[in-house]
Structure 1
Amino acid sequence: MPIIEMHLLAGRSTEAKGRAAQAITSAAAEALGVAPETVRILITEHAKDEFYVAGKAGRASDQLRAVESSGDE
């Protein structure tokens, strides 16, 4: 029984998480040769201030924009 753990920043809809779970279930079942009914997915959501990239809170894409804009000055 595959158990897949996902960590996401909070804010995605139940529908979006469901679509991701369906796609991941299908991919895991196919790749591992198991029945989709045996695939378990655990989703843990984190607030933006609980997620760090390069020691700074927030999404990597937010930080990349901040670095790019600081180079413009």
Structure 2
Amino acid sequence: MTLERVGIRTLFDHVVAIGTVCRGKPAPDLFLAASERLGVAPETCHVYEDSDEGLEAASRAGMSALDVREVPGLTR
């Protein structure tokens, strides 16, 4: 819904949200569902995350991840 409100939903072929899976982060379900929809292996995915739970979920999914909270110059 947020993507639609800001007018960028059409930029994404697939959107996976918490309602798509049974377990939220730090379970890997959300990231694994996304890789499945994209048709790519989890180990080929890279996650950009802003929470400890999300980083743990990415790791559990076998994906590499970047903690965007540690990127110099990045503001929220």
Fold conserved (TM > 0.5)?
no
TM-score, with normalisation over the residues of structure 2?
A: 0.30
TM-score, with normalisation over the residues of structure 1?
A: 0.30
Higher-strand-fraction structure: 1
Q: Higher relative contact order by CA 8 Å / sep ≥ 6: 1 or 2?
A: 1
The structure number with the bigger radius of gyration is: 1
